[in-house]
Structure 1
Amino acid sequence: MLLGVGFKVIVISTVVLGFLVPARAKLLAREGPRAVAGTGHFSRHPAIGLLQPLAQFLDSITRDGRSEEDKKRWATSAAPLLVLIAPLAAFAVVPFGSRYVFDGALVSLVVADIEWGVVWLVGAAMLAIYGSSALIVDPAHRLQHAILAISYAAGTALCLAALAMVFQTLSPITMVVAQEQSQSIGDFFGPSLPALQNLQIPSWGLFLQPVSFALFILCALGTPSISNVTSAPGFQDRVDGVGQFWLRTAEHLSNVLTASVLVALFLGAGAIPLVPADMIIGEVAEFFGNGLATLLTMAIHIGVFITKVMLVILLLEPLRRRLAALSFAGSLRLCSWGVIPACVVNLWVTGAMLVGGGS
């Protein structure tokens, strides 16, 4: 077992360094020595590749007699990695498919199948806020960034809380499994409209919590992006080329993460509307057997999930640009007087309906 784990670590490390080292060399060739600011023991090794912020971080904590300037350098070196780690950590709990029975074992299309995955998502958002705020030199700008980020993160948490109340779980994969079901449109209106009883819709979060769906989009897109940090005065002098590379990567990952969470929790992940996985497996199994049918269904759901994410990114881009054009006062006013009160009301109404036995 230990030999197998060690082999995987060696292979992964080789692949990662195989990318990081030549990428660092290209960055140095394009931007010159300014691209890498580290001069300590760890920073001198070329094999560190694009993990230069980590090397600077290690140099800072191993240097004797750390001054105030060393502490600032420590925070600046660690910040790009924190901003990058946050979306990577969040992806671990985002399902891109459902649960499948394969050779008698239950397989979930999610990296970390944990019961409190929604809480993990909120924690990752807070980690990104902490890291990005440490990179802003101007205290006033840093305070504005933190206020907006925390305010919209609170709204996101309230939206996810209302959704968790509907599905009665904090597990994202359990939410995805629940969205594979379908229900009658007449269930939303009661027996007064019997003509709608035969019309089915998928039990997606979009239909069960449309208010949370709209507010989640506003909160996710209203959160200050990494570009707000990189365009702040003094940023170019404080963060070297490697750190800027990681921050640009983190911004792209954050956009994909927003779309992925939206698809997984509100749009059924990789499920096809009104076509349950069991139906696909049953049809294909007649020709290829259960094992191959399950693998094919998993591949179909992964492809559908990727397609949904790409479409959501394209559809949200115009709204992202419009919200980014708002001033600090306008964005804060939208959050304080619009988004947060709506999130609270939605949470209370959802709770009241559940307590009262509604659906």
Structure 2
Amino acid sequence: MNKENNLSYNTLEVITVIACFIILGICMGIGSVDIPLKDAMTIIGGKIFGTSIPDDLAATTSILWTIRLPRAITAFLVGGALALSGAIMQSVLQNPLASSYTLGVSSGASLGASIIIVTQFTIPLLGSFLLPVFGFAFGFATVILVLVIASKFDSTLHSNTVILIGMVVSLFTNAVMTLVSSFARAHSQQLLLWQMGSFSGKRWYHIQILLPLCIFGLIVTICYARSMDIISFGDEQAYAMGVNVRKSKRNLLLLAALLTGVSVCFSGTIGFVDLIAPHAVRIVFGASHKRVVPMSFFVGGAFMALCDMIARTAVESELPVGAVTGVIGAPFFIWLYLRGRKDK
């Protein structure tokens, strides 16, 4: 019976991954200029394998390879990273409504970015990476601050303590960012766009940074899958089963902060993905993190790519991606949550 269940789950996993890549392909093809699948395959094959691309596809090649393909892949990777960090947070904090933003990663990164935008501070060596680097640094520093303060109150890093300290620090950084925005109204539009998220202007060098980090995060999280399963039952039981709860929680929270910080600094603040994807995956695949972790990455990536496609095609002027994820994600998450309660 177990073998049959594992086989059905494995089949469902394969189907899900294929469906996610199909969605990514659709997102690449649809836009102000629709690109047929045959032309897209010709262009991608030509770029990868060095085969000739017909001259009549020159304009299409520029649109697909230079603009649309890196943007769609970046959205997929950011969505996957956010969903992965959400799965970690929900497990470590033993709360299905927890997300990586609970620890203030988003607000910290936004504060760092807003300071750079307002002060116009520059470091020639970093160039266009200045904003992402400062956003990530502030977001990661916020999490370190939360863990340090939480450890002073509770050496075991109990979930309630971490959540409470995280909310306090997040509210504080949001208040500071509001003050910064109030004193720099000339930059309010740029700050608003950052806070709502966008993948406009993403290129291949963004993927070269995101892809290794996503692969690293996915592999490390899978290695912690068993510990995450045990921690989900409570700290006391985890200790009894030989898991170093404090060390595991610290490492997993820092990993979640890394994934969220990198995602936020390249796309701005985008919510709901880290809540929706892991929750939906648990309903379909069960609670085992051996399946939840990789499936959350692919489902989150596909969802983000789909939302980005809607953001750039729904109206003539591009919509913020965060607004789309919120409009789609909020009712969808409520439906998922109510369905999960009924199943119990």
Identify the structure with the greater helix proportion. 2
TM-score, normalising length from structure 1? 0.31
Structure number with bigger Rg: 1
Higher relative contact order (CA 8 A, sep 6+): 2
